Amino acid sequence: MKEYFRFNSGIHNFWPLYETIKAYYPLGILESESDAITLHETYPGYQQIASIIEDNLFDAKNYQERWGSFNKFLRKKFKRKISGSINTFSPCFSGCLTLEESDTPTYLVAKEIHFVISLLGPYYTLYGVDSSTLMLALDHKRANSLGIDQARYPTIHAITVSPHLEYEAAFLQLKHKIVEWFPNYKFVPYAIHQMRLRGLSTNSVNPKGKNQIFCALFKPDLAPNLPTRGDKWYGFAEWPQEKVPTSEDERNQQLQAAQEEKNRQLLEAHIQRQSAGSVLEVSIHKVWKFKTAKQLPGEGHGIGMMSLEMFDTLDLIDPNELLYTTQEAGPVKSSLYSIVGNVLSIHSWDVHLGSYFRFLVTDLSASQLRLILHLDFVKGRKILKGNIVELLLELQE
């Protein structure tokens, strides 16, 4: 069954493959095989391909620098048999990593991972190959004319097109090493490179592959319709479609940017306020962090913490307005306050207690603040007086 080039363009973007092929091959202009012969001799794209192949594979210096060194890199990493190969008319460098091999005088069984790297664009693919070759006797007449008494009859039993079962570890390792050497290259999934392009004409010797993407980008010797193992769509994740932002997306981005800028300014203002009082300076106008609380005996005994909303962080940098956070998660709150002598009065912290309590500053250093919460509440028969609790705060880092 022939499947022509198609994909969900809302999710994936394989158009670069099409654009590369269109840049080198004629699409939809052939009417006969004789046209193909003439076209292969004169079409500028074919001439470019021939020049690229010549430059990469048949210039000894370039081949050694670009592909010989890559082969050495793989051999060093894998410590296995790795062979590189070239096809005279194919725009790719190819090779195989041998995982297992059993060789006898009558047969050869091999398990290999083949890889191909395109010379036309930043693309590569790889696949496992399970194959066998039988050495069978020739009749005497043919044996005498060829000077051999056996012929090789190879066949491919299956190809593994993703990291699957016994191929998984080596497949992923080889893929990683290819990307390490060619960092901008993308893996072309089997399901895509086996598709065909209508009107495509390559110079493939295999008539079934003349309009196949694999043949155009790589080489013609991966026969279509071979038995496969693994996930044919493996690698699709490397080809995501970039979302075109809508007007709503742009508005959301603007709102997010505005909020981020507001947060940045708040943070900068906080840092500036905090830096206004040096950590070495003895001043109450800093940002303090709650450390411990100790209930005090005496007149206030039994009153405890009442229902007061105890703070976790206390920002006294501003001489008139404090900021604080409570020990229960919530937004930053504020209140007016004043300091007279060693008495710190918070004017609107608790609406029920109003002005009936204050803090006594009993100790102040560059890094510690000690406060006593004092309550003086008389309402009818209800009398609550005395020092309630001692609070120890540390400088907020």
Q: What is the pLDDT of residues 44-71, one digit of tens each?
A: 999 999 999 999 999 999 999 999 999 9
Residue-level pLDDT at 267: 58
Task: Quote the mean pLDDT of the chain.
Answer: 84
Give the per-residue pLDDT at 301: 44
Q: DSSP labels for 224-291?
A: TT--EES-TTTTGGGSBPPPPPPHHHHHHHHHHHHHHHHHHHHHHHHHHHHHHS-TTS--S-SEEEEE
Contacts of 79 (CB under 8 A, 6+ apart): none
Q: Are strands 150-160 and 368-379 parallel, antiparallel or unpaired?
A: unpaired
Residue 395 in tokens: 């400088």
pLDDT band at 296 (very low <50, low <70, confident <90, very high): confident
Which CATH fold would you assign to the domain 278-395? Lipocalin (2.40.128)
Residue with more model confidence, 334 or 3: 3
Assess whether pLDDT exceeds 60 at residue 31: no
Give the start-to-end residue ranges of the domains of the chain: 15-238, 245-276, 278-395
pLDDT band at 202 (very low <50, low <70, confident <90, very high): confident
pLDDT surpassing 70 at residue 208: no
Q: Which residue has the higher pLDDT, 111 or 34?
A: 111
Exposed, middle or buried by CB within 10 Å (0-12, 13-18, 19+), for 272? Answer: exposed
Q: Which residue has the higher pLDDT, 311 or 273?
A: 311
Helix extents (H) in the chain: 15-24, 33-42, 44-53, 60-63, 69-78, 140-146, 168-181, 190-193, 213-217, 247-276
Q: Is the pLDDT of residue 120 over 90?
A: yes
Q: What is the pLDDT of residue 354?
A: 47
- Residues 6+ away with beta carbon under 8 Å from 339: 284, 319, 345, 361
**What pLDDT score does 397 carry?**
77
Please tell me the predicted confidence (pLDDT) of residue 221: 76
Q: What is the mean pLDDT of residues 175-200?
A: 95
